Amino acid sequence: MHGPAMSGWLLMALCAVTGSYCLLRTRTGSAEERRAARAEALMGFGMAAMAIPAAAVAPPAWGWGLYALFFGVAALRALWFSRRSGHHLHHLVGSSAMVYMAVVMAGAGGHGGSHGSHAMGSHSMAAAGGMPLLTGLLLLYYAVYVLRSGARLVPVAATATGGGSAPGGSGARPELTLACRLTMGIAMFAMLLTL
């Protein structure tokens, strides 16, 4: 019982810290960079809320519908902004995955509550299931995303130690932005894996 709750708290903390860093990034950079940072902060905080162990705070039955509505609106926003930037397509996939997980949990009757509480072997999440093909496709997408992000992070970290700031002199740390995206990709993979 201690293991699943602990992994839920760790996932929640990781997503909350990532969302906080993304929120800080909304103050610098171009309009497109700030827009992406807002979407990533939203995703980080939303994932943190969904990962809170049910033993601590059991969400009400209508909570999953609220998550689905919230991330549905975020998905529409990402679809709108994907006209300008391909990175918003990733936000669209992420928001849609969150809608999918919320719908699956609502369909399971919200037994127990959150992904974090089910992270390491609860029966209620296994009973929820979802659609195996869709879950598998999302897992594949996030596995590839994590591997690509990790591979891109290595060269950026090596060159960033020499220069210190991003092009344009904004003082942004590109390796931290990539690390945040990598972290959220891993967290999303973990949440989908428990589905």
> Could you give the 3-state DSSP secondary structure of residue 63?
helix
pLDDT mean across residues, the chain = 81
183: confidence class by pLDDT, cuts 50, 70, 90: very high
Integer Cα distance of 97 and 194 in angstroms: 13
Among candidate residues 160, 174, 100, 170, the one with its CA nearest the CA of residue 130:
100
Contact predicate 143/193, CB 8 Å: no
Is the pLDDT at 161 greater than 70? The verdict is: no
Output 27-35 pairs: Cβ under 8 A, ≥24 positions apart. 28/170, 28/171, 28/172, 29/170, 29/172, 32/84, 32/85, 33/172, 35/81, 35/85
Overall pTM surpassing 0.75 (yes/no): yes
Q: What pLDDT is recorded for position 128?
A: 54
Q: What pLDDT is recorded for position 166?
A: 43
Integer Cα distance of 50 and 15 in angstroms: 10
